[in-house]
């Protein structure tokens, strides 16, 4: 039979354990809460990831449909078309690449304060090769990141 007094002596946490948990929670809150207060960095990274996915989709679509697909980059937006466009607002319905997720034109606009530093347009041919080697620089929240498209293979990274 188990002694009730011996069992009750081992239940619960010690004061040292509780203090250590409070110290760790305090340290983590000091380090992590400021990141959640400003979501600009998360928005910038999310848009950057979407942009890479768009360029990769354009390459795969060009291979699948055996036709040129253009990636048009303006100041704060990127769009996909079947013809070269100077802005992402001027494409006709026949030239638009449709986004399979929502069946609308595949165009993404950057969140406030985030831009592409170089406006350009390039295409992928039926073999998935870009018309030229490209580096697309994206600037937002004080950080610049690049999307690189290799000239021979069309690899996007």
Domains and CATH numbers, the chain: 15-149 (3.55.40.10)
Residue 104: CB partners within 8 Å, gap ≥ 6?
Answer: 98
Q: Which of 127, 124, 117 is nearest to 147 (CA)?
A: 117
Q: Is the pTM of this model over 0.95?
A: no
Averaged pLDDT of the chain:
83
Instruction: Reply yes or no on whether the pLDDT at 2 is more than 60.
Output: no
Q: What is the pLDDT at residue 1?
A: 54
Give tens-digit pLDDT for 28-68.
888 877 766 667 777 888 888 998 999 999 999 999 999 99
Over residues 81-88, mean pLDDT: 83
CA angle 123, 124, 129 (to 5 degrees): 130
């Amino acid at each position: 039979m188990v002694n009730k007094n011996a069992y009750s002596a081992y239940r619960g946490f010690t004061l040292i354990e509780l203090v250590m948990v409070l110290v760790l929670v305090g340290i983590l809150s000091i380090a992590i809460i400021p990141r959640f207060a400003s979501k600009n960095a998360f928005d910038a990274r999310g848009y950057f990831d979407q942009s890479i996915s768009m360029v990769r989709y354009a390459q795969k679509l060009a291979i699948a449909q055996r036709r040129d697909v253009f990636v048009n980059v303006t100041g704060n937006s990127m769009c996909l078309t079947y013809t070269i466009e100077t802005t992402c607002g001027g494409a006709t319905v026949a030239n638009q690449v449709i986004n399979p997720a929502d069946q609308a034109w595949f165009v993404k606009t950057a969140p406030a304060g985030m831009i592409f530093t170089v406006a350009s347009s390039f295409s992928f041919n039926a073999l998935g090769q870009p018309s030229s080697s490209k580096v697309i620089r994206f600037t937002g929240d004080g950080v610049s990141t690049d999307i690189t498209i290799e000239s021979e293979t069309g690899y996007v990274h």
